[in-house]
Amino acid sequence: MHVTRSSNSPELWWRDAVVYEVYVRSFADSDGDGEGDLAGIRSKLPYLRDLGVDALWLTPFYRSPLADGGYDVADYRDVDPRFGTLSDLDALVAATHAHGMRLLVDIVPNHTSDQHPWFQEALAGIHRDRYLFRKEPNDWRSNFGGSAWTQLPDGEWYLHLYAPEQPDLNWRNPQVREEFEDILRFWLDRGVDGFRIDVAAGLFKDPEYGNIGTLRPHEDGSPIYGRPEVHGVYRDWRRILDSYDGDRMAIGEVWTESPADFARFLRPDELHQAFTFALQLAPWSAPEFRSVVDKVLAAVRPTGSVPTWVLSSHDVVRHRTRYGSAARAHAALLFMLALPGSAYLYQGEELGLPEVLDLPEAALQDPIFARTGGLSRGRDGCRVPLPWSGSAPPYGFTAPGAEPWLPMPSDWGPLTAEAQTDDPVSTLSFYQRALRLRRALRDGLPESLEWLESPADALFFRRGPLLCALNCGSEPVRLPPHQRVLLGSTGQPGRELPGGAAVWLA
């Protein structure tokens, strides 16, 4: 029997890992159909290894009609033909490991696609108890806009916290539980190192279907998120993960407002990690950043787990655009990478990609655009395919002359990976240096931090031998006493750190 280490063991790989999110559809296309695929990812593994990340997280590549970019799964045990085959996945797992990295896959347990055989049966009136059907809707709203309920021609309503093409599963049905345990084993047997769990706090809904009224969806007492029954599922999943060798792990996408609610997911027999989105939601401000970091550290500390940090993802406006400049984006990266815990990067941030704000409406694919009647343009602007080479679209993302699934800007020539490789002042080189240095330092760093006194617009903190300074203001600030500059976000600062910059000091 394999003996697992407690998740407090500091040597566990995920406790300080840098994980790179691959949005599969937009990463690299190997077959010229305009959509990224698993073979495309495999061809770029040397790039990812040279970047210096520890693990990859792949967004869903399962069979799907892509009503929500693959977060609508029609078959949890197969690869969508657009993205490749199961043998491509096996080859990718093996090659990722051969390049010294781990591979996490996304699991979507809250809802299936409406094309899933179970929902097709439900439509025909068979086994509706695998989903959430009601005679009357309530006031719950879909996260994509509009009501969370859709009525079938026979009069019954079904729940979908997202698009109508994503019916919510009934987790009180033991068949649903068994099915997902089997799905976990299916991918663990194929060698994946763990899972990112989609909508992890949402599986159980209030069986009374009480109206939400004026409560916010993620508030304590919400009838939708963070209900106590969900924790039993993750205890079972943890036992499954622990029964495999190789320190497999799971990270939950957990949106909760209260830190106590959040911490429950991280109990030692539940999830290894949970995403905290607080940093991603905070404006460019030293006091805001500090308060976010303090809150997250305080929530996580008693659990024995570690914090996770994210600046960008496939769901939010890219942080370079949110913060308004490449300089600030670089500074934020140094700040994040110096914090205790693990960091999740999103593809393209290492190239300094901005959000694409002017995609033509006809090209938009995110269901949010249609469901809000165009009030929100949705998340396509951070999902534009990566520019790899050349000076015009599709920049090596797909075959020359092929149409990428989202149009690529005509001015991205200087941002391609090719243009930035070997350019010492490029964003890519900066990411490589920062990740290399973090790796070199990490064994000597405590899993905690100590704030030092700083001017109001700046933050200084120490982790053992490493000192990080971030200046969110516009005036230069005097750096704390140090022996040496290890890495700066804007060249080598002297005794002063300019506005919108960060530095690591020894």
Instruction: Please select the residue that binds ligand GLC; options are 199, 250, 434, 497, rule is CB under 6 A.
Output: 199
Catalytic annotation on 270? no
Distance CA 328, CA 283 (A): 12
Stretch 239-258: interaction string toward ligand GLC, x if CB under 6 A: --------------x-----
* Burial degree of 377 (CB within 10 A; 0-12, 13-18, 19+): middle
Residue closer to ligand GLC (CB basis): 257 or 315: 315
Q: Is 350 in the site for ligand GLC (CB under 6 A)?
A: no
| Long-range contact pairs involving 1-9 (C-beta distance under 8 Å, separation at least 24) | 2/242, 2/243, 2/244, 2/245, 4/242, 4/247, 5/247, 6/268, 6/304, 7/268, 7/272, 7/304, 7/305, 8/268, 8/304
Compose the 94-123 pattern: x for residues touching ligand GLC by CB under 6 A, - for all others. --------------x---------------
Total residues at the site for ligand GLC (CB under 6 A)?
Answer: 9
Closest distance to ligand GLC from the beta carbon of 466 (Å): 32
Residue whose beta carbon is closest to ligand GLC = 71
- By beta-carbon proximity to ligand GLC, the closer residue of 198 and 270 is 198
Cα dihedral sign, 165-355-499-502:
positive
Report how far Cα 85 is from the mean position of its chain's Cα atoms. Answer: 24
Site for ligand GLC in 122-181 (CB under 6 A): 162
Q: How far apart are CA 252 and CA 23, in angstroms?
A: 17
Q: What does the block give as tokens for 402? A: 């092929």
Among 27, 71, 275, 388, contact with ligand GLC (rule: CB under 6 A) = 71
Upper half-sphere CA count for residue 55 (Cβ side, 13 Å): 26
Q: What is the closest distance, in whole angstroms, from the C-beta atom of residue 474 to ligand GLC in the complex? A: 34
Helix or strand (DSSP H, E) at 477? strand 477-478
| Catalytic status, residue 154 | no
Of the candidates 128, 180, 117, the residue with the CA atom closest to the CA atom of residue 158: 128
The residue (of 262 and 412) whose beta carbon lies closer to ligand GLC is: 262
> Of the residues 253, 349, 355, 366, which is catalytic?
253
> Position 331: which residue type?
A
Q: Pick from 16, 114, 198, 355 the residue near ligand GLC by CB under 6 A.
A: 198
Shortest Cβ distance from residue 143 to ligand GLC (Å)? 7
Under the criterion CB under 6 A, does residue 315 sit at the interface with ligand GLC?
A: yes
> What gap in Å lies between CA 234 and CA 171, rounded to an integer?
12
Our CB check for ligand GLC shows the closer of 54 and 198 to be 198
Catalytic residue ranges: 198, 253
Binding site for ligand GLC (CB under 6 A): 68, 71, 108, 162, 198-199, 253, 314-315
